Homo-oligomer: A and B are copies of this chain.
């Protein structure tokens, strides 16, 4: 087979399934405070989307004993690419299995990252169709803007903890065609973080070093807003509603994104973000940050809060 995964063969991060021990509290939070929209429910899951997401869901909340990520899913740019990519994965020793169509998506191939995070690739997707007073006058948007709660615009990216960042970064680069945009490499050569993009965005997924001994932990999922003012407004909404803000709003040096991290009622970390840069140069070389540079903290000097380096879901048992 002559197929090799190329940049942009993965079209975009499609959705993530997040476990929560408090499904009703989590769902109420995402609907009332965050302002996401519920698209449907199954026995154990609630499906949600932002007003600007074109798919029927970008977040699947699933009732579970603990927090953490059930799986994440990526959409390929075509049905043919999906078949080719699965064949390529299998030819390169990546075990996996096809799964039947589920809520919002057609058949999908499920496999695992080198750190064992469950993930899927698929092509067939159910698109959101607005009805009634959701129908936008701005026909180039999937839904009328809904000014309720934080109201982020769309799913943006995911961040996962991993024991071997290099292995995960190489896996996404070589097996799925993502572009490596930035890296943290400490003195001695340990890769502490790797950022990759399926698109011309500065990143769609990041892997950072898990400082515990756990595998397959989830760091955060991010919804994007159009302006930094929106993120500052979100901070007030979260604060006034008693949601714990772990850190931010502040700016990441890496990716140039404006961030705000908080924990949803089920214990998972989420981010409201804005900005970043677009990479037009097809020859982009990864920007590598060393240990000394990272000690400077975030963009404007804020030292990274320690839990940001240690807290992941599910929590590590002690």
Contacts and interface: CB of A to CB of B under 8 A. Distances in A.
Interface of A: 8, 11-12, 35, 52, 54, 75-78, 127, 136-141, 144-145, 147-151, 154, 181-182, 199-202, 226-230, 232-233, 235-240, 242, 244-245, 247-251, 253-256, 258, 260, 275, 277-278, 280-282, 287, 289, 293, 299-302
Contact of A240 (B138, B181, B229): B138
Given A199-B280, A300-B248, A256 B182 contact: no
Given A140-B256, A282-B11, A299 B77 contact: no
Contact of A282 (B75, B232, B238): B75
B226 A275 contact: yes
A241 to B, nearest CB: 8
A256 B301 CA distance: 22
B12 A300 contact: no
Contacts of A254: 140
Contacts of A154: 280
A174 to B, nearest CB: 18
Given A227-B228, A235-B299, 11 more contacts: A54-B280, A78-B282, A138-B236, A139-B289, A140-B202, A140-B256, A145-B240, A147-B237, A199-B280, A228-B228, A238-B300
A232 B240 contact: no
Contacts of A35: 147
A137 B228 CA distance: 21
B228 A301 contact: no
A280 B12 contact: yes
Contact of A245 (B11, B147, B300): B300
A78 B6 CA distance: 13
B140 A182 contact: yes
Contact of A239 (B8, B229, B299): B299
Contacts of A144: 240
Contacts of A76: 282
A-B pairs, 6 with minimum CB distance: A12-B280, A229-B229, A77-B282, A11-B282, A235-B300, A140-B287
Nearest to A236: B145
Contacts of A287: 139-140
The interface centre, meaning the residue of A154, A249, A275 with most chain B CB atoms within 10 A of its CB, is A249
Contacts of A230: 229
Nearest to A195: B140
